[in-house]
Amino acid sequence: MRGAVTKRKKTRWIPIHWRMVFGVGIFVVLSALEWRVLAEEESATSKWAWSQSISGSVNPLGLDVTSRISYQSPLYEGKKGILWESTLWEVGLENSLTPAYDSLSLLFHVVPIAFFDLRVMGGFRYAYDALGFGYTPLAAYDSPFDRDTRKQIDRTSGLGFRYQVSPTLQGAWNNFVFATTTHWVYFDMRGIGETGQEYFYEPSVNVVLKQTDLYWGNDTILAYRFRGKGLIAGLLHSITYVPGSGYITERISLLGNYSYPLPGTLSLSISALVGFYPQDRYLSYDTGKLYGALQVKLQGRMK
């Protein structure tokens, strides 16, 4: 219409939080992967944001329900340019509930420039055995931790702590999107009580740790964005390393994400992964097992 003003949307980095789970059978194993894509959105403003997701996986079976609320605000108010318009700081709470544990964390997230961001999380990890998936003590790093072995171990409940630092480098060229996130995750499970064992099975990454220990992980994505269709598809490489034992588990997956806007400020996303393990003690490709995961997520914002 003549005289009408068209409001141009700006391209900026926004997060899509994809959380995968490894393992419900006897235990649920959860690992975190956070990745970014380019999307079109109105210029950044301060707002409250929330999300609710449910995720599941096979080989191993898994289930996770994650709830999150946070406050987000531009880092450089009014600063123009593709490197600065997506910068922000964010603070909030995240709760991850599985049949094995409940983790409540305070999170801090900062994006000082479009191609880099940093997430820091820390909080409580409560392992509970009400469903038969509780804290599992082990004798050593090399103790067997397959499903049948864990069934024979006396599990318990108790409180510990979990801390995580995750920097991300990301970029885009035309419709191709690249992101690589490194995680350093530290556990202190000494508050679990006397178990007679110095090690434990950590279901979030399917590894054995000491009661005070850390692991390192990296998730790298190369994906293609189908503009105007709400669809992203690509390849994901994930690796987890335990410095104390030298143990490595590695996975390669095809990924897909479909996002659909709902009325108001709501949006719905569905994410899926299918892949295999080049390296894993029990799930390696030579066992003939494939990995699969699915997540459904609802999110919104309040200005």
pLDDT of residue 45: 83
253-286 pLDDT, tens digit per residue, is 999 999 999 999 999 999 999 999 999 999 988 8
Q: Which of 16-20, 168-172, 191-195 reaches the highest mean pLDDT? A: 168-172
Please say whether the dihedral angle defined by the alpha carbons of residues 233, 250, 26 and 198, taken in this order, is positive or negative. negative
Question: CB within 8 A of 297, min separation 6: which ones?
Answer: 17, 51, 52, 53, 54, 268, 269, 270, 271
Question: Looking at the DSSP assignment, which residues form a beta bridge with residue 76?
Answer: none
Question: Is 60 exceeded by the pLDDT of residue 23?
Answer: no
Domain extents in the chain:
10-302
Question: CB within 8 A of 28, min separation 6: which ones?
Answer: 21, 22, 61, 62, 63, 64, 98, 99, 100, 101, 133, 203
Alpha helix segments (H runs only) across the chain: 147-151
Beta strands in 147-290, from DSSP E residues, in sequence order: 158-173, 176-188, 199-202, 207-210, 212-226, 231-242, 247-261, 267-279
Asked if residue 237 lies in contact with residue 216, where contact means CB atoms within 8 angstroms, the answer is no
pLDDT of residue 248: 96
pLDDT of residue 147: 83
Instruction: Pick one of 1.10.10.60, 3.90.870.10, 1.10.3720.10, 2.40.160.40 as the CATH number of 10-302.
Output: 2.40.160.40
- 29-to-20, 58, 207, 245 alpha-carbon distances in Å: 9, 11, 9, 19
Mean pLDDT of the chain: 85
51-84 pLDDT, tens digit per residue, is 999 999 888 778 999 999 999 999 998 888 889 9
106 token code pair: 């305070």
Question: Is 50 exceeded by the pLDDT of residue 2?
Answer: no
pLDDT of residue 25: 25
Confidence class for position 288, pLDDT limits 50, 70, 90:
confident
**To which residue do tokens 């649920």 refer?**
28
Helix (H) or strand (E) holding 124: strand 116-127
How far apart CA 262 and CA 188 sit, in angstroms, is: 41
Confidence class for position 38, pLDDT limits 50, 70, 90:
very low
Q: What is the mean pLDDT of residues 198-210?
A: 93
pLDDT of residue 43: 53
**To which residue do tokens 């393992």 refer?**
23
Give the number of other Cβ atoms within 10 Å of residue 248's Cβ: 14
pTM for this prediction: 0.85
The proportion of the chain whose per-residue pLDDT surpasses 70, expressed as a percent, equals 85
101-158 pLDDT, tens digit per residue, is 999 999 999 999 999 999 999 999 999 999 888 999 999 999 999 888 888 898 999 9
Give the number of other Cβ atoms within 10 Å of residue 29's Cβ: 24
132-141 pLDDT, tens digit per residue, is 889 999 999 9
- 243-to-32, 56, 225, 254 alpha-carbon distances in Å: 19, 28, 36, 28
